[in-house]
Structure 1
Amino acid sequence: MASTDLKKQKIFCTTSEAAEILSISVGTVQLWVDTGLLEAWKTPGGHRRITRGSINCMLHHKPAAVATEAAVVSSGGALRVLVAEDDADLRLLYQTILRHWPMGPVLEVVDNGIDALMVIERFRPDLLFIDLDIPGVDGFQMLKILNSKAEHAGMTAVVVTGLSRADIALRGGVPDNFLVLPKPISFEKLLSIASALWELKAHRAGRTAA
């Protein structure tokens, strides 16, 4: 019996154990279970048990997210921007153009939804540019996850997509609180959004200092 229990401990983790392994909050673990990012079952007492296999799967995406911890520390009051885009050419274009924006944003770029969620948890971006058709967790599901967590209410998310309005509607739509912009990308428009957000952040920082 003891060996069976030990085997279960190796295969399944509690929400607290999963949170510690993934370096995220227990609430985030529960949310990822509810949205299917982590596989789990419930004990007769209603406690979640998460499969170690699904935790390991998420850990494969962890290195890109862990790298952001130093960025958060060094960013100070800078505007933090995350780009979630699976097209390699567009990712390079984002990096090239945003690097020359006047407010000097701290930039993180990922190519899939799972990495994006991991980075958001640590990087706490002020601004997210997200494509809807990204692998892992698509933009539609990501926006639902972000909308369900009050801690992300201060983050501005902008959808940049090649999908038509009709296609977006057929796939469930985008919540009204997210701005949707078409491709090809207007970087002038993105800069105007970032500039307004940066001014707001600087104003709030000034009020706090006062």
Structure 2
Amino acid sequence: MSRVNHIPSVPDTCSTTEAAQRLGMAVRSVQLMVDRGELQAWKTPGGHRRILRSSLEAWLDARGGGSAAASQSAAERGRAKTLLLIEDSVHFQNLISLIVKRELPDAELHVAADGIAGLALAGRLEPDLLLIDILLPGIDGAALITSLRSHPQFARSRLIVVTALDEAQREPYRFALEGVPVVHKTALVTELPPLLAGLAPRTAAHAA
């Protein structure tokens, strides 16, 4: 009698990027959902999250299905974006404001000159994008960035750090900056616009 060796089936999984596209969310939001246990996942030996598609579909079904998520995503793309700049230098407040106005003319930009005021504004606005200087009066910029990245309230907020520190000077803050776009203040005019482009509402031509 022959023996058939049954190979255990491998669960159907996807990456956080694929899940984010399916849900119409940012990758960071999906990572936080995993951390909160809302999606079932594990990490590969290389440290990458693999999400069970069954848990992804169950999450969608519980909230009205994928079409609702897609509609929400479309609404997010169509509305005017809210940005918050936390920067103590008036010169760079003005420069960044000019760049934002040029790249995102319909965006609503709020400015805070210190970390305490910035944190209060962030809690009230829940902005689409936070632009933060890592050296701020009144608060440790690295602690502020870490807090904002880990708080569920800001899960959908994108983050860009602007700084006058060079790469060596930023080393003590590496734990807070990992995975976050960092723009040196001398390169704002060239490096910030491409990062803002991802926030621009999609036109009908792009959506087609």
TM-score w.r.t. length of structure 1: 0.54
Gaps of at least 5 residues in structure 2 are 1-77
Alignment match, 2:147: 145
Q: CA 1:136/1:163 → structure 2, altered by over 3 Å: closer, same or farther? A: same
Are residue 111 (structure 1) and residue 129 (structure 2) matched?
no
Alignment match, 1:167: 169
Q: State the Cα distance separating 1:189 from its structure 2 match.
A: 2.6
Q: CA 1:141/1:194 → structure 2, altered by over 3 Å: closer, same or farther? A: same
Alignment match, 1:81: 83
Greater radius of gyration (CA): 2
State which drifts further: 124-133 or 145-154.
145-154
Q: State the Cα distance separating 1:109 from its structure 2 match.
A: 0.7
Q: CA 1:166/1:198 → structure 2, altered by over 3 Å: closer, same or farther? A: same
Matches within 5 A, 1:36-185: 77-171=79-173, 173-185=175-187
* Corresponding residue pairs, total: 128
Distance in 1 of aligned mates of 2:157 and 2:170: 22
The answer to whether the 8 Å contact 2:130/2:158 transfers is yes
Deviations 1:15-35 (A, max 9, x none): xxxxxxxxxxxxxxxxxxxxx
State the secondary structure of the residue aligned to 2:159: strand
Q: Which amino acid aligns with 1:146?
A: L
Q: CA 1:178/1:172 → structure 2, altered by over 3 Å: closer, same or farther? A: closer
The answer to whether the 8 Å contact 1:160/1:185 transfers is no
Alignment match, 1:44: none
Aligned residues: CA RMSD: 2.4
State the secondary structure of the residue aligned to 1:174: helix
Q: Which amino acid aligns with 1:113?
A: G
Q: State the Cα distance separating 1:199 from its structure 2 match.
A: 3.8
State the identity as a percent: 27
Distance in 2 of aligned mates of 1:95 and 1:178: 20
Q: CA 1:86/1:102 → structure 2, altered by over 3 Å: closer, same or farther? A: closer
State the secondary structure of the residue aligned to 2:116: helix
Distance in 1 of aligned mates of 2:104 and 2:169: 35
Q: CA 1:102/1:160 → structure 2, altered by over 3 Å: closer, same or farther? A: closer
Distance in 2 of aligned mates of 1:123 and 1:185: 28
Distance in 2 of aligned mates of 1:172 and 1:97: 27
Distance in 1 of aligned mates of 2:182 and 2:190: 15
